[in-house]
Amino acid sequence: MSTSGLIKFIASGLYTSYGKRFYPGSRGTIPAWLIAYFLVRGNQTALYILAAVFTVLSVVIANEAEKIWGHDSKKIVTDEWAGMMITLIAVPYSLLNYFIGFVIFRLADGIKVFPADRAERLPRGWGVTADDIVAGIQACLITHAIIFAINKYL
């Protein structure tokens, strides 16, 4: 595989963001969610490590992928992988809790509430990744609040 082929493979989340159909960011987030749910299985140390690795990888890969596809192309979803792992930090391991995290992250990433809207203005791979890091932090906090409310009031 050529260097550009490898960049495309990684940047696209194992090609999950390819295609003209709807929601490439959500499709691109699914493999990260599957990794977290089926492989990491609530191991917080692994989540922290993966969040850090995917964040650094995303900045580097997104920077190179922009040279191929243009600025913040919808095909670049490595940033969603980092944001998804950040969302799940300290979330109690269960299918419901992880599903809530997925949905809230996708909403936070789509809506881009301050300061996520400002973070995406950073140059190159930093801008591609930073808004998802902020959205991941926001989604993590909201996910925890929802889980707390479910456990307390339902």
Q: Supply the pLDDT for residue 144.
A: 98
Contact (CB, 8 A) for 63 and 122: no
Q: Supply the pLDDT for residue 140.
A: 98
Q: Supply the pLDDT for residue 25.
A: 84
Q: Supply the pLDDT for residue 86.
A: 98
- Burial group, residue 17, by CB count within 10 angstroms (0-12, 13-18, 19+): buried
Q: Which of 114-129 are b and which e, b meaning 16 or more Cβ less than 10 Å from the residue's Cβ?
A: eebeebbeeeebbbbb
Q: Supply the pLDDT for residue 47.
A: 96
Q: Supply the pLDDT for residue 23.
A: 83
8 vs 140: CA distance, rounded Å: 28
Q: Where are the domains of the chain?
A: 3-15+24-153
Contact (CB, 8 A) for 106 and 95: no
The 8-class DSSP code of residue 1 comes to -
Q: pLDDT digit of tens for each residue in the chain (154 aa)? A: 799 999 999 999 888 888 766 788 888 899 999 999 999 999 999 999 999 999 999 999 999 999 999 888 889 999 999 999 999 999 999 999 999 999 999 999 999 899 999 998 998 899 999 999 999 999 999 999 999 999 999 8
Q: Supply the pLDDT for residue 71.
A: 86
pTM of the complete model beyond 0.85: yes
